[in-house]
Amino acid sequence: MTISINLLQNIDLMSAVSVLGGAADFERENFLLNNVFKVNPQVHFSNTLVLPQDIRRKYLQGYSRKRDGATPVGKASESTETIEIPKIRRSWALDEEFLTMLSLVIGGYNGPLATNPNTQIAAKINRELVNLMAIINAQSEATAAEILMTGSATLTYPDSGSDTLDFNYTGNGVLDGDTYTIQKDLSGTSKWDSTSGDPVKDLRRLRRLIDTYAHWAGPVMVLAGYEACDALLKRHAAVVTPVARLNTGSLSLTAQAKLQGAVAGIPIYEYVVTSDTDATTKNDYIDSKTIAMVADGGENCTTELGPVFDFADQAAMTPSLLQTAWFSKFVKTEDPPVTEIIVERRPLPLLRNPNKVRVLKVL
């Protein structure tokens, strides 16, 4: 007697990843991707992007007369760099171990998902899709945090080699009056745990720098590491507006959960996300003693998506660039008998104007 279990019977992978990609769990786990580096819904036609490295001010040139043509705007002050959007491709093996771990009792199965073992298998495949997508999103979130806090990120590939994204932050100049001082470390009595420290003044200075050098009159937000947030709330509770008084109607549940209050009208979000670098070590996505002020809106921070190169038609085996935010498929080998779930995404967290960001180490 032969009992066959059809892995493909109850699940359509491409439909599944599209639905799972919008799940609330992903929003909760990826604050930066959903609230700061918002995903561009347009998937690019090419994996190659030309990034503006220095978006300078547009100088006032006066008006045109009624019947004049357009006045040319020079681009000599801009430099560009070309970079390929990297891919993140992960797989999960469906093999003998996968099936035996289901603890199926064929013929008398009384599991939680009806009497059909295929139903349980389909649910298991969905769970593995969620895991693979979470791994990919976690890597994207970590890259977004690295870009925001340091102005650069190293894209390290599993096989070998790496690429570096550099958005030309400069650091540790004066806190006022320097166009290119994106990063600053406070020292001595200016630190926030000092009785002479003045966080409110520091935050207002950062806000003015963004207004002045990025020409941004819109709202800003602050992402704070937990020690920086503790120092602010502990010593300056009187100037922190209670969360209940803030307008949270337009915020996601995730943003509301991380919102600690406001200083000088600037919302403060505590950001605590870590990754395991080995069995005993955790790495903070954002340095616990550092804050980042960033323009809220204006599409300065985005996550760009590249197309996926694969077979558009599995039956016809036609290679193609697929414009899809998520891609997934089954790949089967016969000996040993293994079916792999493959999930791929091409995300690139992108910072368009570094002057719309200020990073301050406060402790």
What SS3 class is residue 63?
coil
Residue 101's pLDDT is: 66
d(CA 138, CA 150): 18
Both tokens assigned to 98: 């996968």
In sequence order, what are the residues at sequence separation of 6 or more whose Cβ sits closer than 8 angstroms to the Cβ of residue 31? Answer: 141, 254, 255, 258, 269, 271, 273
DSSP 76-130: TT--EEEEEPP-EEEEEEESHHHHHTT---TTS---SS-S-HHHHHHHHHHHHHH
d(CA 70, CA 67): 10
CB of 345 closer than 8 Å to CB of 29? no
In the predicted model, what is the mean pLDDT of residues 113-129? Answer: 70
190 secondary structure, DSSP code: G
pLDDT, tens digit, for every residue of 177-223? 666 678 999 999 999 988 888 898 999 999 998 988 888 888 999 99
Give yes or no for residue 76 having a pLDDT over 70: no
CB of 137 closer than 8 Å to CB of 30? yes
Of the candidates 67, 106, 139, the residue with the CA atom closest to the CA atom of residue 285: 139
- pTM, full prediction: 0.83
Q: Where are the alpha helices (DSSP H) in the chain?
A: 13-20, 24-29, 31-35, 96-100, 117-150, 199-214, 226-235, 253-258
Residue 70 one-letter amino acid: A
Distances (CA, A) of 304 to 52, 83, 142: 14, 12, 15
Average pLDDT, the chain: 78
d(CA 228, CA 284): 13
Residue 255's pLDDT is: 75
User: Phi, psi (5° rounding) for residue 266?
Assistant: -100, 120
d(CA 279, CA 128): 22
Any idea where the domains of the chain sit in the sequence? 13-54+81-361
Residue 124's pLDDT is: 76
The fourth-level CATH superfamily of domain 13-54+81-361 is: phage-related protein like domain (3.90.1690.10)
pLDDT, tens digit, for every residue of 89-120? 998 888 887 777 665 544 455 555 455 666 66
Confidence of residue 44 (pLDDT cuts 50, 70, 90): very high
